[in-house]
Amino acid sequence: MRSNPSPPSGSGEYRGSAAEIARPKEAATLIVVRDGPEPRILMGKRAASHRFMPNKFVFPGGRLDIIDQRLNVPGDLSAPVLGRLRKATRKTVTDRKLRGLALAAIRETFEETGMIVGRKATASVITKNPVWRDYLKHGVEPPLEHMDFIARAITPPYHTRRFDTRFFLVHERFIHNDPEQVSGISGELNQLHWLTLNQARKLDLPSITRWVIDRVETRIQLEPAEQLFQPAPFVRFVRGNMLSEEL
């Protein structure tokens, strides 16, 4: 087991020379863990046409949409997870937006891989959004109470595209469909694979993804209920210096 993994250096894929600093967009990523003697995680390769991290292997995820903040589904994030998400945020960032980030991770995973992460629906939810409508028709709802928030990272300045990304984790018992039938239906992720952590480390990864994999390895040594109470590191760059703190 790797303990206290070091944060990424900010080198490599983060180099850029843009004259103006791009404002980071809110985003979310979902790490789905299949438990066992050698736990496996779902990763895919970003299309070569992407301007941000082309051809890199990453977890499914993407930008926060308005619908994610407005969708009224039952349940909520656990108190310790929501408490961590609230830290180091602007006063204008509401709990609904933080909850929306967790929902964005579920939606993006469904949209990019076809995998339905959810539990049996307890209430009817109506939405005009086509992706959420397709997700909900499977008779499920997002397992918000069981989603862990394990890390946050902001792309360094002067990168042409920047994201303020929250990394969420959920375990395989909330995979509603056949996990072996994942496919890159949106075209955003190719070569989707369930990989052991060591297999994942051998791929062409962004430095932040490699760092998060180390955090996953440390996290899953604990019982799922205990994982929800663990801190989440937050990495960002200020005036060219990398700052890291525990949330």
Q: Which helix (H) or strand (E) holds 130?
A: helix 130-136
DSSP annotation string for 182-200: ---TTSSEEEEEEEEHHHH
Query: Is pLDDT above 80 for 195?
Result: yes
| Residue range 102-160, pLDDT digits in tens | 999 999 999 999 999 999 999 999 999 999 999 999 999 999 999 999 999 998 776 67
What are the extents of the domains in the chain? 12-238
Higher pLDDT, 68 or 192: 68
The whole-model pTM stands at: 0.88
Q: How far apart are CA 43 and CA 53, in angstroms?
A: 14
Task: Determine the pLDDT at residue 185.
Answer: 61
Q: How far apart are CA 169 and CA 150, in angstroms?
A: 7
**Where does residue 213 rank: exposed (0-12), middle (13-18), buried (19+ CB within 10 A)?**
buried
**Region 12-238: CATH code:** 3.90.79.10
Tell me which of 9-18, 177-186, 193-202 is least confident: 9-18
What number is the average pLDDT over the span 2-27?
58
Cβ atoms of residues 18 and 158 within 8 Å: yes
pLDDT confidence band for 11 (50 / 70 / 90):
very low
> At 22, which amino acid appears?
A
Positions of E strands within 87-212 = 119-120, 140-141, 148-154, 163-171, 189-196
Task: Determine the pLDDT at residue 12.
Answer: 39
Mean model confidence pLDDT for the chain: 86
pLDDT confidence band for 53 (50 / 70 / 90):
low
Give the percent of the chain with pLDDT over 70: 85
| Residue range 131-147, pLDDT digits in tens | 999 999 999 999 999 99
Three-state SS at 115: coil
- Quickly tell me which residue has 């967790």 as its tokens: 102
Q: What CA–CA distances, in Å, run from 114 to 119, 153, 185, 204?
A: 16, 26, 7, 23
